[in-house]
Amino acid sequence: MPDSVTSDYFRLLNEIGIIGQLSRTLLEARLPPGFVTAQFSVLNHLVRVGDGRTPLAIARAFQVPKNSMTHSLTVLERAGLIEMRKNPQDGRSKLVFITDAGRTFRADAIDAMAPDIARIAAAFPRDVVARLLPDLERLRKVLDADRDAPE
């Protein structure tokens, strides 16, 4: 494979990393003090794909170590944004449920970002967003599948 191809993929991931960093900063500026993106993302995940999942399943979805997820969930539970229940099917594991407070927290954060989104939308047309979304979803799925069958 020629170098130029490698470097195109490399640049792609690089750009995505920078944009991720910039938007993370944007989001954290709108979250209540003391909360970070990782915690919001868990709530968002629970709403989007449904709750009642095990901590390990969530950790895998984010590709983070399970101990990191333990920590995030502890913070969220202390804040009353999620509930951890025993898994009746398996004595080892727990199930994670989002609370009403958690749903409100997520909705508020999204609302709080509206002005930021509006500024971005003014400079970055919606049709470009529409064009990007399917390709990026596909890339995410490729990376997701890749880690399951590595090397």
Residues sharing a CB contact under 8 Å with residue 112, sequence separation 6 or more, in sequence order: 30, 31
Tell me if 91 contacts DNA by CB under 7 A.
Answer: yes
Under rule CB under 8 A, which residues in 27-86 are in contact with a copy of itself? 27, 37, 41, 44, 62-64
Tell me if 25 contacts a copy of itself by CB under 8 A.
Answer: yes
Which pair of tokens denotes residue 150? 């590595």
What is the Cα–Cα distance from 105 to 76, expressed in whole angstroms?
11
Give strand pairing partners of 86: 94
Dihedral angle, C-alpha 40, 124, 119, 8, nearest 10 °:
50
Helices vs. strands in the chain: H and E counts, helices first: 7, 2
| Residue 148 binds which of DNA, a copy of itself, none (CB < 5-8 A, kind-dependent) | none
| Residue 14 binds which of DNA, a copy of itself, none (CB < 5-8 A, kind-dependent) | a copy of itself
Out of 31, 47, 64, 112, the residue judged to bind DNA by CB under 7 A: 64
Contact between 47 and 82 under an 8 Å Cβ cutoff? The reply is: no
Tell me if 98 contacts DNA by CB under 7 A.
Answer: no
Minimum gap (Å) between residue 1 Cβ and DNA:
27
| Residue 75 binds which of a copy of itself, DNA, none (CB < 5-8 A, kind-dependent) | DNA
Give strand pairing partners of 53: 96
Tell me if 24 contacts a copy of itself by CB under 8 A.
Answer: yes
What is the total residue count of the chain? 151
Tell me if 132 contacts a copy of itself by CB under 8 A.
Answer: yes
Binding site for a copy of itself (CB under 8 A): 1, 5-6, 8-27, 37, 41, 44, 62-64, 110, 113-114, 116-121, 123-124, 126, 128-133, 135-140, 142-147
